[in-house]
Amino acid sequence: MEMEFNACTKHKVVRNVVRDFAEAELRPIASDIDRAAHFPWEAIRKMGELSYFGLQAPAEYGGAGLDTISYCIVIEELSRVCAAVGLCVTVHNSVALYPILAFGTKEQKDRFLPDLCSGKRIGAFCLTEANAGSDAGGVETTAVKVKDGFLLNGTKIFVTNGGACGLALIFAVTDPASRSRGASVFIIESEREGFTVGEFEDLCGVRANPVCSLFIEDCLVPRENLLGQLGQGIRIGLTALDTGRMGIAAQALGLAQGAFEASVKYSRERQQFGRPISNFQTIQNYLADMETEIDAARLLLYRAAALKDAGVRFTAEAAKAKLFCAVLANKVTSLAVQIHGGYGYAKEYEVERYFRDAKVTEIYEGTNEVQRLVIARDILSRPV
């Protein structure tokens, strides 16, 4: 795999196109939808028409067929303006659509992918429960084999896109006796009997994303909705998360980039002691560190993305990218508020939203601690 450090023309075009869209359609509403915790249906509908919900899916299903670096650029540019929408798009693409692409039968792909690609159905992946966060083995949702398929029961919490999803991938225990081979993934259409959307979570950040609980009560799911093999749940989950981690890393990167740009702009305009604060070495040091680390984060992420496209194992690289970008986003957004001073703490400026949005990137799709486990495992598995 050759390394290219300067963006090729295609990646520049992807970036310009998405930035234009985000500035025109998301920038004007980002603050309001955050304050009201309102999911921007109209913008989402437009994005569906522009293929944002089938970024890497093949054209035959209505997808854009983009490479993984392009995918990361899309998420980064959306999140640079509105991280809640960036989150919606990455979760839909990486952990809802991608597993169907990777593990689905032809019939399932024909049945589910077109609606997902067009954004007609927004996707969600449901793993987390009250007793199962980092410990996915603690999942208690069950899927019992019955005459017409499987009967599912359980409650999923903190489901990203949950309140808007038309399709949910449910991680359920199918063989309670076996710990590692005991789980499977089922595809549930939101209109199915026994599937209820719960209250929306009142979150610190990414508030415009309809994160909620999902109640699954005696939900009968036909055999045709089992994704992959029975007992393949863990494998599907981990595969989904590998790609999902890059999407979250891209989201975190976008947050950092947006906060950084706001800081540069503000430091040029704000005058104290008779000059712009960008004249002061302390501010210059902050800006220099921010840009250097953002550059490093971007290269780390693109390296993982390039490995995926080369068909090479990229689990540890994706974990490193996610860890690094999430930590960076928190550092940069906090510094951005600091550079803005008192104004940075007020909702009149956007940086406080970036600061609030950044925190969760260290938590979901694998906490910082879990990423470190993955990386350490990779280090220690190497031959001595």
Partner 1 sequence: MNLVVCIKQVPAVAELEWDQRTGGLKRDLAQGMMNPACRNALEAALQLKADHGGAITVISMGPPQAEEILREALALGADWAVLLSDPTMAGADTLATSYTLAKAIKLVRRDFDLVLCGCYSSDSETAQVGPQLAEELMVAGVAYVETIEVLAPKIKGGRPTIRLSRQTDNFLETLELEPPGVLTVASSGFAPRHVDLSGIQPAFSSRDLIHLDAKKLGANPKLIGQNGSATRILKVYPSVIDKEGVVLKGAVKASVQDLFQLFGARLNGFVGQGYSPDD
Report the catalytic residues: 365
Residue of 66, 136, 197, 255 that binds partner 1 (CB under 8 A): 66
Give yes or no for a contact between 51 and 106, defined as CB atoms under 8 angstroms apart. Answer: no
195 and 26 in contact (C-beta within 8 Å)? no
Beta carbon of residue 59, minimum distance to partner 1 (angstroms, whole number):
7
Write down the residue that tokens 């026994």 correspond to. Answer: 194
Residue 371 is a binding residue for partner 1 (CB under 8 A) = no
Q: Considering only residues 11-40, where is the footprint of partner 1 by CB under 8 A?
A: 12-14, 16-18, 20-21, 24-25
Q: Which of 29, 64, 240, 339 binds partner 1 (CB under 8 A)?
A: 64
CB of 329 to partner 1, least distance (A): 23
Please report how close the Cβ of residue 78 comes to partner 1 at its closest, in angstroms: 11
- Minimum CB separation of residue 345 from partner 1 in Å reads 27
Close Cβ partners of 195 (under 8 Å, ≥ 6 residues apart): 168, 188, 189, 214, 215, 216, 219
Compute CA distances 109 → 8, 134, 188, 224, whole Å. Answer: 32, 30, 14, 11
Cβ atoms of 68 and 301 closer than 8 Å = no
C-alpha 292/C-alpha 253 separation (Å) is: 13
221: Cβ contacts below 8 Å, ≥ 6 apart: 143, 149, 150, 151, 152, 186, 187, 188, 192
54 binds partner 1 (CB under 8 A): yes
Rounded to 10 deg, the angle between the 315-340 and 233-269 helix axes is: 30
Select from 55, 57, 125, 129 the least CA-distant residue to 89.
Answer: 55
Q: Which positions ≥6 away from 110 have C-beta within 8 Å?
A: none
Region of 218 (left: φ > 0; alpha: ψ -120 to 50; beta: rest) is left
Q: Does 86 bind partner 1 (CB under 8 A)?
A: no
75 binds partner 1 (CB under 8 A): no
Q: Convert residues 325-354 into a mask of x (bound to partner 1 by CB under 8 A) and - (unbound).
A: ------------------------------
Q: Which of 4, 27, 36, 49 binds partner 1 (CB under 8 A)?
A: 49
Question: For residues 9 and 282, which CB has a smaller minimum distance to partner 1 in the complex?
Answer: 9
Cβ closest to partner 1, residue 37 vs residue 116: 116
Q: Quick one: which segment of 61-69, 168-176, 185-193, 313-321 binds partner 1 (CB under 8 A)?
A: 61-69
Q: Which of 6, 9, 281, 282 binds partner 1 (CB under 8 A)?
A: 9
62 binds partner 1 (CB under 8 A): yes
Using rule CB under 8 A, residue 65 touches partner 1: yes
In the complex with partner 1, which residue's Cβ is closer, 12 or 313? 12
Task: Write out the E strands in 192-259.
Answer: 195-200, 212-221, 226-227
- Give yes or no for residue 278 binding partner 1 (CB under 8 A): no
Q: What interhelical angle do 315-340 and 351-359 show, nearest 10?
A: 150
Q: Based on the shown chain and the rule CB under 8 A, indicate whether residue 55 belongs to the binding site for partner 1.
A: yes
Count of residues engaged in binding partner 1, rule: CB under 8 A: 27
Report the C-alpha gap between 61 and 101 in whole angstroms.
10
**Interaction of residue 98 with partner 1, rule CB under 8 A:** no
Is residue 180 near partner 1 by the rule CB under 8 A? no
Q: Which two tokens stand for residue 306?
A: 């390039």
* Footprint on this chain of partner 1 (rule: CB under 8 A): 9-10, 12-14, 16-18, 20-21, 24-25, 46, 49-52, 54-55, 59, 62-66, 70, 74
